């Protein structure tokens, strides 16, 4: 399997977490996809035992190397173009989320996918994190009975971020960027696509970060009736012990399960207990790459990549307009 | 201070938690206010060292004893009538929340209040609980800087509930009944009145409890821009260690404070730590009763009793109609 990589702005490092588990994969070339220095990408590749070519132009790279698979993690506002161009060339795409920053761009990717034999997945790595992956397996096995509510939290340190975070056009907004993880958990744990969303957001008190929304909240109703909330913020103090405070709470007819602080806590007919978290059964990149050769299904169905992107963009639209949006 | 009590359907027991701290108070008479047996009320009164008369008719009781203060905790759908009648007689009212089950009934109480020299407070005892009262003091002292988000959770065991819980007319709905605590925290911790609400709720899978909503969620924007969420459910398993899982998370520009499992956890520039919870400075009933004699202000301003009731009813209306409601 010939493999190329474009960019290192976001979660490209998921590739290196499990590339060693993809039989016969060969990282042929990398491109930063923009004015960024490709050095960090080259270094990670070398650390992983590869010696890829460095190409200034990502399109020339795709033409020259004709990879089977490409990772797309360039400028946020270029995900859609890069993904669409790759799909049009019949190249599978491992794409940073959100796949697109506008509904028009999402359509372009979906149309390219329709005309292509290649597939696309977005980098929803937190669905694969050991605690969340284990929790999802438990919920799917019926640990809480019929799911009724899902609540997800993403709270990040703001830290120091590049200039492009200050502009909606290049950043896309906090609901799509940070919230996409929470919204992906909602999609996964509810076991349903989205029916409706209402969301709020604020740029006030954003520590001079331009148009960046410092805090957001989304309220979803799923097609199967599950009620779901996402709380999203950059208000985690710098002195907090970890970068993020990621949580999910799933309440059902027979129990309540929570992922909090890396722990999985279940309350059911046997009372409350913390369950030991096993190592993850699957890892994002290798799960997708191996699914391309038909060996097994991927934990994230391809349809959910589009469903998630659309949900992020419609939630943002709700917050932008103050209106309830029906899917 | 002459005191009477009507009913024991809800939180009447708050009276007995601090009646001993109200100088010169005398519990003269009690009435169940309906077909309920007054025995539990009489027993609690006797345990507290009082020997009140038992009156079948609550209005005759008010006429006969002319109390200065009455506790109202009869049938939920009678709170408004009982409170209004007492206020019209110039009697202060310690009233189960929500004060009214409809906006029309709320108007009746507010109009009676306008014409009365007497005051009313609702039984928002959880604002006074040691952990929440301490957290509120910290937030008001600036522990998290400027508040940006408040998230509140009420999760209860459904248990076995009387027949009147099955009917909207006599129960009022889960958002007003259970959610009122969460919405009161939002009011207190945000330091603002409400601007807008969108809410959802469901009666599906409610263990054959008629019209009772088993799970609800509310998303508020406050007048000062704070974003707030309430998650409300009866999905806590019977085997859980406590009846309720009450939580508040307050995120601000300089920190995040949480009340969870009875603990108060603060993350700020000094990192994350659990703060020892001191005994409560004030208790609900004595705080209100003593404020009537002008000794000090009550932790809950009277205006918030009406603001809270209105917020509960408008959140329910939003969930009933699927529309965003502006205050």
DSSP notation for A137-204? HHHHTTTTSSEEEEEEEEEBB-----GGGG-HHHH--HHHHTHHHHHHHHHHHHTS-EEEEEEEEE-T
CA B254 vs CA B152, B266, B283: distances in Å: 19, 11, 29
Q: What distance in Å separates the CA atoms of residue B201 and residue B195, rounded to the nearest whole number?
A: 20
Q: Per the CB < 8 Å rule, is A241 touching B272?
A: yes
Q: What distance in Å separates the CA atoms of residue A54 and residue A51, rounded to the nearest whole number?
A: 9
Domains of chain B, first to last = 2-123 (3.40.50.720), 126-285+296-326 (3.30.360.10)
Closest alpha carbon within chain B to A207 = B253
Per-residue model confidence (pLDDT) at position A296:
85
* B158 contacts chain A (CB < 8 A): no
Q: What is the pLDDT of residues B97-112, one digit of tens each?
A: 999 999 999 999 999 9
Per-residue model confidence (pLDDT) at position A251:
98
Per-residue model confidence (pLDDT) at position A96:
97
Statement: the pTM of the whole predicted model exceeds 0.95: yes
Max CA-CA distance within chain A?
60
Task: Flag whether pLDDT at B2 surpasses 90.
Answer: yes
Q: Nearest CB to A217: which of B200, B229, B254?
A: B229
* A215 contacts chain B (CB < 8 A): yes
Q: Nearest CB to B215: which of A198, A236, A251?
A: A251
For residue A148, list chain B residues with Cβ-Cβ distance below 8 A.
202, 204-205, 214-215, 233, 235
Q: Nearest CB to B231: which of A149, A215, A236?
A: A149
pLDDT tier at B121, thresholds 50, 70, 90: very high
* Regions of chain A short of the pLDDT cut 50: none
The strand pairing partners of B149, in sequence order, are B227, B251
Per-residue model confidence (pLDDT) at position B296:
85
Per-residue model confidence (pLDDT) at position B64:
98
Per-residue model confidence (pLDDT) at position B57:
97
Task: Flag whether pLDDT at B295 surpasses 90.
Answer: no
Give me the interface pTM, i.e. the ipTM. Answer: 0.96
For residue A156, list chain B residues with Cβ-Cβ distance below 8 A.
none
Average pLDDT (B313-318) is 98
**Cβ atoms of residues B203 and B213 within 8 Å:** yes
Q: Per the CB < 8 Å rule, is B205 touching A236?
A: no
* A219 contacts chain B (CB < 8 A): yes
Q: What is the pLDDT of residues B53-69, one digit of tens each?
A: 999 999 999 999 999 99
- Per-residue three-class SS string for A279-300: CCCCCHHHHHHHHHCCCCCCCC
For residue A216, list chain B residues with Cβ-Cβ distance below 8 A.
227
Q: For an interface test with A, give the residue of B143, B147, B149 to mutate (most A CBs within 10 A).
A: B149
Q: Per the CB < 8 Å rule, is B267 touching A219?
A: no
CB count within 10 Å of CB A183 equals 30
For residue A257, list chain B residues with Cβ-Cβ distance below 8 A.
none
Average pLDDT (B21-49) is 96
Per-residue model confidence (pLDDT) at position B294:
78
Q: What distance in Å separates the CA atoms of residue A194 and residue B200, rounded to the nearest whole number?
A: 14
Helix and strand tally (H, E) in chain B? 12, 15
Q: What is the pLDDT of residues A278-289, one digit of tens each?
A: 999 999 999 999
What is the number of CB-based contacts under 8 A between chain A and chain B?
136
Per-residue model confidence (pLDDT) at position A294:
78
| Secondary structure class of A14 (helix, strand, coil) | helix
Per-residue model confidence (pLDDT) at position A158:
98
């Amino acid at each position: 399997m010939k493999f190329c990589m474009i960019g290192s702005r976001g979660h490209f490092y998921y590739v290196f977490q499990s590339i060693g588990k993809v039989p016969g994969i060969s990282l042929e070339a990398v491109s930063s996809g923009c004015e960024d220095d490709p050095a960090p990408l080259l270094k990670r590749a070398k650390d992983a035992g590869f010696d890829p070519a460095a190409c200034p132009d990502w399109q020339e790279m795709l033409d020259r190397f004709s990879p089977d698979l490409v990772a797309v993690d360039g400028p946020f506002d270029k995900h859609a173009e890069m993904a669409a161009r790759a799909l049009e060339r019949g190249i599978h795409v491992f794409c940073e989320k959100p796949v697109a920053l506008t509904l028009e761009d999402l359509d372009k990717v979906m149309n390219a996918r329709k005309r292509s034999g290649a597939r696309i997945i977005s980098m929803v790595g937190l669905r694969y994190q050991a605690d969340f992956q284990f929790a999802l397996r438990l919920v799917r096995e019926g640990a809480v009975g019929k799911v009724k509510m899902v609540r997800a939290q993403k709270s990040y340190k703001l830290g120091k971020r590049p200039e492009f975070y200050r502009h909606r056009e290049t950043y896309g907004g906090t609901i799509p960027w940070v919230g996409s993880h929470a919204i992906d958990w909602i999609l996964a744990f509810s076991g349903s696509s989205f029916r409706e969303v209402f969301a709020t957001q604020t740029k006030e008190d954003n520590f001079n970060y331009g148009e960046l929304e410092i805090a957001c909240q989304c309220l979803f109703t799923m097609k199967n009736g599950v009620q779901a909330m996402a709380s999203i913020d950059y208000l985690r103090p710098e002195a907090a012990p970890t970068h993020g405070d990621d949580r999910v709470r799933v309440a059902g007819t027979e129990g309540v399960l929570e992922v909090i602080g890396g722990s999985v806590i279940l309350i059911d007919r046997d009372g409350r207990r913390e369950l030991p978290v096993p190592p993850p059964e699957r890892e994002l990149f290798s799960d997708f790459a191996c699914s391309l050769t038909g060996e097994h299904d991927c934990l994230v169905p391809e349809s959910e990549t589009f469903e998630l992107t659309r949900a992020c963009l419609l939630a943002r639209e709700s917050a932008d307009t103050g209106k309830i949006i029906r899917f």
